Amino acid sequence: HADAARARAIARPERRAQFATGRWLLRHAAARIFGENGFRLDSVEGRPIVTAAGELAAVSLSHSGELVLCAAGRVRSLGVDVERVRPRADWHALCAWTLHPRERERIERAGESQRWPSFYQSWTYKEALAKALGEGVFGLPFDRILVSPDGRLEAADERLQSAPPDARLRDPDWRLAALRLGEGFAGAVAWRA
């Protein structure tokens, strides 16, 4: 089986455990949603692919630290992300690449204690969107995507040239939700109904 071979090839025990846990969660979620025998799990270029009733199903995995998240559903697109909240070395460079100017202003106004939790919440919304679109982290210009603190893709100020940079993000069916994962983690799920 390809997943077993891939797991054996992972050198770090914690990464191997994350991989195995993610695949188990994916099988469990798919069985609950599509029935025990109603789906097929494959890997394409190392990414898990679930097929149900002859069509690709919406699934997503993410891990950070000791947490592994799985999302699966009967929706058009789906992405999930989790990140451990931790300070990083260069706030200004990271913000320039990740945060829309209005998000950065809002986060900096909130104060030092909320800086990193707010940053990572914004990051996870955007990475979940990227995964739902089948893009890598560098596939979307995060600094041009404006997400409200409660997970809405906000209408943009044209002077800032901040309309969603990807036409797929203009679909009104997008939904984003923050995940409550406990102290020290931020997470989000993005889906298109």
Question: What would the DSSP string read from start to end of 92-126?
Answer: HHHHHHHS-HHHHHHHHHH-HHHHHHHHHHHHHHH
pLDDT (tens digit, 9 = 90+) per residue, 27-80? 999 999 999 999 998 888 777 889 998 888 899 999 998 999 999 988 889 999
Q: Which residues share a beta bridge with 107? A: none
Mean pLDDT of 77-97: 93
Q: How far is CA 42 from the centre of its chain?
A: 20
Mean pLDDT of 102-106: 94
| pTM for the full predicted model | 0.88
- Contact indicator for 36, 157 with CB cutoff of 8 Å: no
The chain-wide mean pLDDT, for the chain, equals: 88
Residue 155 pLDDT greater than 70, yes or no: no
Residue 90 pLDDT greater than 50, yes or no: yes
In this prediction, residue 136 carries a pLDDT of: 79
In this prediction, residue 42 carries a pLDDT of: 85
In this prediction, residue 154 carries a pLDDT of: 83
63: closest CA among 47, 49, 80, 44?
80
118: closest CA among 186, 189, 176, 190?
186
- Contact indicator for 141, 162 with CB cutoff of 8 Å: no
Q: What are the start-end ranges of the H helices in 35-111?
A: 91-98, 101-110
Residue 159 pLDDT greater than 60, yes or no: no
Residue with tokens 């679930």: 50
In this prediction, residue 160 carries a pLDDT of: 45
Provide the 10 A C-beta neighbour count for residue 152.
13
Cα angle vertex 183, ends 64, 89, to 5°? 60
Mean pLDDT of 117-131: 95
* Backbone angles phi and psi of 132, in degrees to 5: -60, -30
Give the helix/strand (H/E) hosting 10. none
Mean pLDDT of 123-140: 90
